[in-house]
Amino acid sequence: MKILVLGLGNIGPEYADSRHNIGFMVADFLATKYDAPRFEVGRHAFVTEMRHKGHSLVLVKPTTYMNLSGKAAAHYLSSLKIPVGNMVVVTDDLALPFGKLRLKGQGSAGGHNGLKSIQETLGTSEYARLRFGVDANFAKGRQVDYVLNPFSADEQIELPTRIEKAADAVLAFGALGLERAMNVVNVK
């Protein structure tokens, strides 16, 4: 069975360590830890594939920038014949404290342009998303600057551990399915 792991972010060195790129960071961690081949340029994305517990995970990092992430989602679901129920989107979330994970099977875009693009392109809000908390420590009107800037020095100390937990959540989704993975990931 193939699982599509869509790690959201923006391409370019100026965004590499930003909060908005947590999806890329989780995809990179998985690729490195599980010796996936190097990411290659594919249609609308950088792509590689890895294996875990008998499943093939296709790691996709859209090259369309956040606002057009739906193009990559639609292309890889269609071209690889992966049902939308086998896709998990890894994204940042301002509504959660730093590093807190929340796995859900549906929901609104919550003001997130990447999720909005995916929902508009796929015509559904029923797909798994792993939300990675980035907190909301910004002044009024500074949201864009906040998500496009790197994590704070204190956050960077804990970031590798939090990324590994997010990667484990992705693997749980692949191995256990959404419902059972939610019971593992969404513990208080």
Supply the angle between the helices 22-33 and 153-176 in degrees, to the nearest 10: 60
Residue type, 92: D
The active-site residue, picked from 20, 44, 75, 112, is 20
Q: How far is CA 105 from CA 63, 69, 74, 154, 179, in A?
A: 24, 18, 17, 31, 8
Q: How many CB atoms lie within 10 A of CB 98?
A: 18
Place of tokens 């864009």: 144
Q: Active site includes 55?
A: no
Active-site residue set:
20
